[in-house]
């Protein structure tokens, strides 16, 4: 049954990719929004997770606004997929600057552009993270970590249709600290998502006032290697138009206590992520179970 389900999913994905190739952009966008709205209506559990997360984050202070943001976040995720799969139409070496506005802190831009200098780039499930990696790879090679899909047929299909430029991916199960350090030594940008649930391996860091288990690898790499650590993200500002923003490099005063220093780094990164989400809350993946500790008090 599992193989049959995977084959059916593959057939649907294959058909979808074929349609994407022949349909005009406006029609693709319209269909994507309709499908996202349908999924929002049918996926009761995910809808409720997104709704509660928006309310409990304090981003929205009433149910109607929380519902609006949650619905738009579902639409946004659908557009993320479509934009990523069709990006070769408009993001090329010659044309990408017509579609992307760079808003980079001066020092961060210097590190990102400097040949031979490794950089650690932190981001979150905000805006279009796939587009962000592709854009930055025009400035310097990027190495990212990915979770392989459960369906191997769909995984292979999607990977064949994703343009990479100088963006390479390492499956999460194959990632290790030695490979991370090698990417840094090779002068690449090492990209991490900092808002994935870390289970019992992470450190509890407040995210919008609620503790969330947060991976420490990115902070530990920064402490050990001294490599510049920058938070950046790409948000949609119009159809096929994006803004990539990079904040100033993370700096902390080292205390000599490794756990305290790791917490200071993760706190600083999380504050940048919160600031970015507040700017474009509809473009965050609210349906993800980022918090798995009950809220102390409900906001609704």
**What confidence tens digit (pLDDT) does each residue in 110-166 have?**
999 999 999 999 999 999 998 999 999 999 999 987 766 667 766 677 667 665 678
| Residue 177: pLDDT over 90 | no
pLDDT at residue 20 in the model: 81
Alpha helices in the chain (DSSP H): 2-22, 25-42, 44-57, 63-85, 106-113, 129-136, 152-161, 177-185, 217-225, 258-279
* Residues pairing with 214 in the sheet: 197, 203
Residue 173 has pLDDT above 80, yes or no: no
pLDDT at position 294: 55
Residue 297: the pLDDT is 39
CB 210 within 8 A of CB 201: no
Radius of gyration from C-alpha coordinates of the chain: 19
pLDDT of the residue at 19? 83
Confidence band of 298 (pLDDT split at 50, 70, 90): very low
Q: What is the pTM of this model?
A: 0.89
What is the DSSP code (8-state) at residue 172? G
pLDDT(176) > 80: no
299: pLDDT confidence band, cut at 50, 70 and 90? very low
- The residue with greater pLDDT, 89 or 124, is 124
**19-49 confidence digits (pLDDT tens):** 887 888 889 999 999 999 999 999 999 999 9
The maximal CA–CA distance of the chain, rounded, in angstroms, is: 59
pLDDT digits (tens, 9 = 90+) for 243-281: 999 999 999 999 989 999 999 999 999 999 999 999 999
CA separation for the pair 276, 145 (Å, rounded): 22
Taking alpha carbons only, the member of 54, 84, 58, 86 closest to residue 71 is 54
The sign of the CA dihedral 146, 106, 219, 231 is: negative
Average pLDDT, the chain: 88
Across 34-38, 80-84, 115-119, 191-195, least confident range: 80-84
Q: Are 244 and 135 in contact (CB under 8 A)?
A: yes
Are 195 and 271 contacting, i.e. CB atoms less than 8 angstroms apart? no
């Amino acid at each position: 049954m599992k193989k049959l389900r995977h084959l059916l999913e593959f057939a649907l994905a294959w058909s979808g990719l074929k349609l994407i190739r022949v349909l005009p952009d406006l029609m693709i966008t319209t269909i994507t929004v309709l499908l996202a709205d349908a999924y929002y209506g049918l996926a009761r559990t995910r809808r409720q997770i997104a709704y509660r997360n928006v309310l409990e984050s304090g981003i929205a202070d009433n149910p109607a606004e929380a519902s609006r943001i949650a619905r738009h976040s579902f639409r946004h995720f659908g557009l993320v997929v479509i934009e990523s799969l069709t990006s070769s139409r408009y993001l090329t070496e010659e044309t990408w600057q017509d579609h992307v506005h760079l808003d980079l802190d001066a020092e961060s831009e210097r590190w990102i552009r400097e040949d031979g200098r490794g950089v650690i780039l932190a981001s979150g499930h905000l805006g279009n993270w796939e587009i962000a990696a592709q854009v930055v790879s025009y400035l310097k090679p990027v190495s990212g970590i990915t979770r392989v899909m459960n369906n191997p047929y769909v995984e292979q299909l999607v990977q064949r249709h994703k343009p990479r430029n100088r963006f390479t991916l390492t499956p999460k199960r194959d990632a290790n600290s030695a490979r991370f350090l090698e990417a840094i030594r090779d002068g690449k940008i090492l990209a991490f998502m900092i808002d994935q649930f870390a289970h019992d391996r992470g450190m509890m860091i407040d995210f919008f006032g609620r503790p969330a288990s947060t991976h420490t690898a990115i902070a530990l790499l920064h402490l050990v290697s001294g490599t510049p650590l920058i938070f950046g993200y790409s948000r949609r500002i119009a159809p096929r138009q994006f803004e990539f923003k990079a904040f100033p490099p993370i700096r902390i005063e080292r205390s000599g206590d490794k756990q305290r220093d790791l917490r200071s780094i993760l706190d600083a990164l999380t504050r940048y992520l919160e600031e970015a989400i507040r700017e474009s809350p509809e473009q965050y993946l609210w349906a993800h179970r980022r918090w798995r500790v009950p809220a102390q008090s409900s906001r609704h």
